């Protein structure tokens, strides 16, 4: 009865299969092959790529580095984004201008901005060291010292994506009901208490969503690393995406890079699910 | 008269048997040089209604001359020529994927000559008539070697590359600076003959304004960025310690056992000296790619550098602040060379030098191409005498000397206004490398990208202080063993034997 209804689902299902399921299944298949620059094609080598990956310390180090990078930058983006959203949510002059101004970094092209930032951080020609010298401070090896290069990549990420946080959180703030604030005012709550007792709890669900979206995006960081440091110095700024890119498209180890990609995908799904559950449990009181 | 009209009219004249073919001069190339692929000869061909697909590097290096000559070829022959420009990092896979999937996506390919180990089975052999062309016969033996895989010529030579030392001649000849160096270092200031001397001189000249420009100067600009051709710089540095002139049978591997030699003492010492040189780099110098190196030396910031021709040519551009104040020399050598046969260091009175015939640009025609005739005509046209003479004079084109005639100092002094001494220093250096007995070629085997990527990562870790030189190269050797195992030792050996044959031939 009403079997015809499934016919109407068919176009959607076909699109789903074509754009999501097939590439994913094909990647799974490639990951069990030795497809390489010298061995093209889909042979079957069992789990050899996965066994090799297990011993690939560079991959796991890149994953660890990515975790630190994504966690730290998203946390800072969240704090800054929230602060800026609160700033223009209130009754300030020219708030429309500031709202647009704060969004500009997000609207720029990551590759272009990475080139600009690389120039800013350039150790002999860049303006940043010029400012430091003018201020009587010593110039810094922004991109050639391992720690500073990592910090430089973080700065660019934070600069570029704080506006995204700002946008989501501002939208959340603007949708909050006024009654709890009136009640807090009547109860004599100050601005700090109002924030922690009223605003923050009501923003928790949106915060979790914003943080998760940014974590997903931040974990794919590629352009900034590619342009600014190429993963160096050494492997100090090499992230998972960049490492997989090197193995896949530079070294042309398609089978191996497919196994790296799939493992990365699974780790991301599991870790982001756990992070989401923990954050909801900690932050969102009303989980109905 | 517009360029197009000139070309069409000239083509028409040529097709109809017209003489006086001045077209090459009218399009700014210079006088046409008679030959089988001259403007006149190519203008006599008609490829109307046919398409030629070319993949090449991004503009300007090689990409710009590819497009320029494609445009002229199209107008001369009536062919529809499509040129795809790809950044270097993507070039390999953009060529390889169509090869592996059996598509004839491109007829003509421009790429790094070291990839021949991966590409050779997909390339068409250069037809005999092109090999016998006097312009091809004029290519030096070294660059014919580079174009050859086994006994087949698969690559169409249109560039010649090598690494050599560039230095500020005016500073080395400055008597005041010479005296200062002698006083502080206790010896005369000389062009470095060893990498130890290079480091010593470079460090001495770092951190002070030795050219009176008001800016701080530094000793050495080197290509150190991990994924920006650093592996070639490292090979230059390690070669004299690891390439013993009396030991045959492999530089990267022991050809017999296919055991990597990359972590043997010669290579390790090269890396240690590389690391020491960081003290002479300009700010940010530990992150310099090829472009940074070119502009650092070419812009007058550093005293010395070594790599491809580009930095020298940049320094000799008409607008360069150091034009005619630079010199060229063979790469520094080593007085102690690791002998892997005896397992000991051998001492040399005269420093051992290794001529690193580093990879350069090359071109080829795809075996799967349906337009081989047109494709070879295009490549022959690209490399004809007039076009080559023109391209050699434009630094950003990335076309460097590869024919005997290019090693004539008068070519550079007359055409480019170089001072005789500079031109002489340049051509003598290039000729010395070309004829050197102790040559090093790139590792032209299947999977070269993997080997070099692994090498660059290890060297970069050592440069960044993440590992010691020995630890870093040990890890590279481990990875090389795994790569050899995956590809198959026999397969790598068969390919590597071609390289070793070139190295051991003199």
The topology under which CATH files domain A57-283 is MetI-like fold (1.10.3720)
Kindly determine whether residue A234 and residue B227, on different chains, have CB atoms separated by under 8 Å.
no
Distance from CA of A212 to the nearest CA of B (A): 32
Q: How many residues does chain B have?
A: 506
Q: Write down the pLDDT at residue B9.
A: 46
Distance from CA of A75 to the nearest CA of B (A): 28
Residue B446's SS3 state is: coil
- Round to whole Å and give the CA distance between B26 and B22: 7
Q: Which residue in B88, B101, B215, B226 has the most chain A C-beta atoms within 10 A of its own C-beta, making it the best mutation to test that interface?
A: B226
Crossing angle of helices B265-276/B195-204, nearest 10°?
10
Kindly determine whether residue A236 and residue B486, on different chains, have CB atoms separated by under 8 Å.
no
Question: Who contacts B485 (Cβ-Cβ below 8 Å, separation ≥6)?
Answer: none
- Round to whole Å and give the CA distance between A279 and A205: 9
- Round to whole Å and give the CA distance between B441 and B338: 18
CA nearest to B167, candidates B196, B194, B202, B200:
B202
Q: Other CB atoms closer than 10 Å to residue B128's CB: what's the count?
A: 9
Supply A288's token pair. 């109905």
Q: What is the pTM of this model?
A: 0.87
- Round to whole Å and give the CA distance between B13 and B20: 9
Q: Identify all chain A residues contacting B286, using CB atoms and an 8 Å cutoff.
A: 141, 144, 233
First-to-last alpha carbon distance for chain B, in angstroms, is 54
- Round to whole Å and give the CA distance between A131 and B475: 41
Between chain A and chain B, how many beta carbons pairs sit less than 8 Å apart? Answer: 100
Residue of A122, A232, A246 lying closest to B464 (CB–CB): A232
Find the residue in B nearest to A145 (Cα): B464
**Which CA distances in Å does B168 have to B190, B208, B358?**
12, 15, 23
Kindly determine whether residue B90 and residue A232, on different chains, have CB atoms separated by under 8 Å.
no
Distance from CA of B32 to the nearest CA of A (A): 40
Residue of B226, B446, B486 lying closest to A232 (CB–CB): B226
Distance from CA of A73 to the nearest CA of B (A): 24
Q: How many residues does chain A have?
A: 288
Residue of B301, B449, B460 lying closest to A251 (CB–CB): B449
Residues 398-457 of chain B whose Cβ lies under 8 A from any Cβ of chain A = 446-447, 449-450, 453, 457
Residue whose pair of structure tokens reads 């940014």 in the numeric block: A214
- Round to whole Å and give the CA distance between B303 and A257: 42
Tens digit of pLDDT at every position of chain B (506 positions): 344 444 444 444 444 333 335 678 888 898 999 999 999 999 999 999 999 999 999 888 899 999 999 999 999 999 999 999 998 878 998 999 899 888 899 999 999 999 999 999 999 999 999 999 999 999 999 999 999 998 899 999 999 999 999 999 999 999 999 999 999 999 999 999 999 999 999 999 999 999 999 999 999 999 998 887 899 999 999 999 999 999 999 999 999 999 999 999 999 999 999 999 999 999 989 888 888 888 899 889 999 999 998 888 888 888 888 999 999 999 999 999 999 999 999 999 999 999 999 989 999 999 999 999 999 999 999 999 999 999 998 878 889 999 999 999 998 998 888 999 899 999 999 999 999 999 999 999 999 999 999 999 999 999 999 999 999 999 999 999 999 999 999 999 999 999 999 899 87
**Which CA distances in Å does A118 have to A154, B220, B280?**
13, 22, 22
The domains of chain B, with CATH numbers, are 3-157+359-400 (3.40.190.10), 164-354+438-504 (3.40.190.10)
Residue B37's SS3 state is: coil
Q: Identify all chain B residues contacting A231, using CB atoms and an 8 Å cutoff.
A: 226-227
Q: Write down the pLDDT at residue B249.
A: 95
Distance from CA of B64 to the nearest CA of A (A): 23
Find the residue in B nearest to A138 (Cα): B283
**What does the DSSP 8-state code read for residue B280?**
G
B334-339 vs B253-254, strand pairing mode? unpaired
DSSP string, B200-222: HHHHHTSSB-TTSSSS-BEEEE-
Q: Which residue in B103, B218, B233, B486 has the most chain A C-beta atoms within 10 A of its own C-beta, making it the best mutation to test that interface?
A: B486
Q: Other CB atoms closer than 10 Å to residue B298's CB: what's the count?
A: 26
**Which CA distances in Å does B382 have to B41, B80, B365?**
13, 16, 13
Kindly determine whether residue A251 and residue B285, on different chains, have CB atoms separated by under 8 Å.
no
Supply B233's token pair. 């710089």
Residue B93's SS3 state is: helix
Residue A41's SS3 state is: coil
Kindly determine whether residue A252 and residue B93, on different chains, have CB atoms separated by under 8 Å.
yes
Sign of the CA dihedral running B397, B402, B403, B408: positive
CA nearest to B304, candidates B319, B318, B287, B285:
B285
Residue B3's SS3 state is: helix
Q: Identify all chain B residues contacting A30, using CB atoms and an 8 Å cutoff.
A: none
CA nearest to B267, candidates B474, B436, B467:
B474
- Round to whole Å and give the CA distance between B426 and B407: 8
Residues 471-500 of chain B whose Cβ lies under 8 A from any Cβ of chain A = 482, 486-487, 491
Domain edges within chain A = 57-283
Is residue B205 within 8 Å of residue B303, measured between CB atoms? Answer: yes
- Round to whole Å and give the CA distance between B64 and B57: 8
Q: Identify all chain A residues contacting B282, using CB atoms and an 8 Å cutoff.
A: 123-124
Residue ranges in B101-188 assigned as alpha helix (H): 116-119, 128-131, 134-137, 141-146, 169-172, 175-185
Residue of A143, A234, A246 lying closest to B460 (CB–CB): A234
pLDDT in tens, A33-80: 999 887 888 899 999 999 999 999 999 999 999 999 999 999 999 999
Is residue B417 within 8 Å of residue B402, measured between CB atoms? Answer: no
Kindly determine whether residue A233 and residue B301, on different chains, have CB atoms separated by under 8 Å.
no
- Round to whole Å and give the CA distance between B85 and B56: 5
Q: Identify all chain A residues contacting B92, using CB atoms and an 8 Å cutoff.
A: 250, 252
**Arithmetic mean of pLDDT over chain A:** 91
Kindly determine whether residue B466 and residue A146, on different chains, have CB atoms separated by under 8 Å.
yes
Distance from CA of A17 to the nearest CA of B (A): 23
Supply B354's token pair. 């290794």
């Amino acid at each position: 009865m009403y079997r015809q209804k499934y016919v109407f689902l068919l176009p959607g299902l076909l699109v789903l299969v074509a754009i999501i399921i097939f590439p994913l299944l094909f990647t799974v298949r490639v990951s069990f092959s030795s497809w390489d620059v010298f061995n093209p094609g889909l042979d079957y080598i069992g789990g050899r790529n996965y066994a090799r990956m297990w011993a690939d310390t560079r991959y796991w180090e890149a994953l660890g580095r990515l975790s630190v990078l994504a966690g730290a930058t998203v946390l800072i983006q969240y704090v800054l984004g929230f602060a800026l959203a609160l700033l223009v949510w209130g009754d300030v002059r020219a708030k429309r201008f500031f709202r647009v101004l704060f969004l500009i970094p997000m609207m720029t092209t990551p590759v272009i901005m990475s080139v600009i930032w690389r120039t800013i951080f350039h150790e002999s020609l860049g303006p940043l060291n010029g400012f430091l010298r003018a201020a009587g401070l010593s110039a810094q090896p922004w991109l050639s010292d391992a720690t500073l290069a990592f910090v430089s990549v973080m700065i660019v990420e934070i600069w570029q994506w704080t506006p995204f946080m700002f946008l989501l959180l501002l939208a959340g703030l603007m949708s909050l009901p006024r009654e709890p604030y009136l009640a807090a005012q009547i109860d004599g709550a100050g601005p700090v208490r109002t924030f922690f007792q009223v605003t923050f709890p009501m923003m928790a669900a949106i915060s979790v969503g914003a943080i998760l979206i940014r974590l997903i995006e931040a974990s794919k960081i590629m352009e900034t690393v590619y342009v600014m440091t190429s993963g160096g110095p050494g492997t100090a700024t090499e992230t998972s995406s960049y490492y997989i890119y090197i193995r896949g498209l530079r070294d042309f180890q398609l089978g191996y890079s497919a196994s790296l990609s799939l493992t990365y995908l699974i780790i991301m799904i599991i870790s982001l699910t756990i992070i989401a559950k923990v954050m909801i449990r900690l932050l969102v009181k009303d989980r109905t | 008269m517009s360029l197009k009209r000139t070309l069409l009219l000239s083509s028409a004249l040529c097709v109809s048997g017209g003489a006086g073919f001045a077209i090459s001069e009218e399009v700014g190339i210079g006088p046409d040089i008679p030959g089988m692929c001259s403007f006149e000869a190519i203008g006599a061909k008609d490829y109307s209604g046919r398409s030629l697909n070319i993949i090449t590097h991004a503009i300007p290096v090689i990409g710009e001359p590819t497009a320029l000559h494609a445009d002229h070829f199209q107008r001369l022959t009536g062919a529809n020529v499509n040129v795809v420009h790809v950044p270097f990092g993507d070039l390999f896979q953009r060529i390889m994927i169509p090869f592996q999937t059996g598509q004839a996506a491109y007829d003509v390919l421009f790429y790094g000559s070291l990839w021949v180990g991966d590409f050779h089975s997909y390339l068409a052999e250069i037809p005999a008539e092109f090999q016998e062309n006097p312009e091809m016969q004029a290519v030096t033996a070294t660059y014919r070697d580079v174009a050859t895989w086994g006994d087949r010529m698969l690559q169409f030579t249109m560039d010649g590359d090598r690494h050599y030392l560039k230095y500020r001649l005016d500073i080395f000849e400055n008597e005041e600076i010479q005296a200062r160096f002698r006083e502080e270092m206790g010896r005369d200031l000389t062009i470095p003959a060893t990498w130890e001397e290079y480091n010593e001189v470079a460090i001495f000249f770092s951190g002070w304004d030795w050219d009176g420009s008001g800016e701080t100067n530094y000793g050495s600009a080197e290509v150190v960025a991990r994924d920006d051709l650093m592996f070639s710089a490292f090979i230059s540095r390690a070669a004299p310690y690891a390439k013993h002139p009396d030991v045959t049978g492999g530089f990267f591997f022991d050809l017999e056992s296919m055991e990597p030699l990359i972590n043997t003492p010669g290579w390790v010492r090269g890396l240690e000296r590389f690391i020491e040189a960081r003290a002479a780099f300009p700010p940010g110098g530990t992150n310099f790619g090829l472009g940074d190196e070119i502009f650092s030396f070419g812009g007058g910031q550093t005293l010395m550098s070594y790599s491809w021709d580009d930095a020298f040519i940049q320094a000799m551009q008409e607008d360069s602040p150091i034009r005619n104040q630079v010199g060229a020399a063979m790469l520094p050598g080593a007085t102690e060379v690791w002998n892997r046969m005896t397992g000991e260091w051998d001492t040399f009175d005269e420093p051992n030098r290794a001529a690193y015939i580093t990879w350069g640009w090359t071109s080829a025609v795809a075996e799967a191409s349906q337009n081989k005739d047109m494709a070879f005509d295009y490549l022959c046209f690209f490399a004809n005498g007039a076009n080559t003479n023109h391209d050699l004079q434009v630094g950003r084109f990335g076309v460097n000397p590869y024919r005997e005639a290019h090693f004539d100092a008068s070519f550079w002094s007359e055409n480019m206004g170089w001072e005789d001494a500079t031109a002489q220093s340049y051509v003598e250096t290039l000729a010395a490398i070309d004829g050197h007995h102790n040559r090093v070629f790139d590792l032209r085997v299947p999977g070269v990208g993997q080997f070099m990527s692994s090498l660059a990562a290890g060297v970069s870790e050592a440069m960044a202080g993440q590992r010691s030189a020995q630890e870093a190269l040990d890890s590279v050797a481990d990875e090389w063993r795994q790569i050899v195992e995956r590809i198959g030792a026999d397969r790598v050996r068969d390919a590597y034997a071609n390289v070793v044959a070139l190295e051991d031939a003199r």
